[in-house]
Structures are given as C-alpha cells and as structure tokens.
Amino acid sequence: MGLTDFLSDLLAGTDSQAPVSSLSAGDGSAVIVYECRHCGTTVGPETACCPSCQSENIVEYAIE
C-alpha cells in the first residue's frame, strides 16, 4: 500500500467519523480509566484499593 492509499483511507475514515466523535466527546461518553498511582495497575471503578500493591492511591483518567 502506498502513502497515497493510506492517506485517502485515513481521510475517508476521518471524514465519516469526525462529526459523530466530536459530538459524542461533549456528550459525556468519554471512557474513564481507573489506575493505581503507585504501580500503574488498571483497576475497576469500584476498586478502592489496588489488588497489586494494596495502595489506596487510585486515580481517574478520562479518555475521549
């Protein structure tokens, strides 16, 4: 595949998806990731204590 093919694929995908994703980004549909600040283990939203290192330092990240 040439660079031109790749770019037109990319542009075609962006063209059809951009309006939807820019709308949904402001719609509260961001994914929230919970992660132990101490060791970096990803934990669930209900997790108050890291299963890996028992730290209670859980942080939230919103990923759009």
Q: Which residues bind Zn ion (CB under 5 A)?
A: 36, 38-39, 41, 50, 52-53, 55
- Nearest residue (CB) to Zn ion, 22 versus 55: 55
| 12 vs 39 by CB, closer to Zn ion | 39
Residue 17 CB, shortest distance to Zn ion, in Å, is: 35
Min separation Cβ 33 and Zn ion, Å: 14
Q: What CA dihedral angle connects 36, 39, 40 and 42, to 10 degrees?
A: -60
Q: Can you read off the two tokens belonging to residue 18?
A: 């951009």
CA nearest 34: which of 17, 16, 48? 48
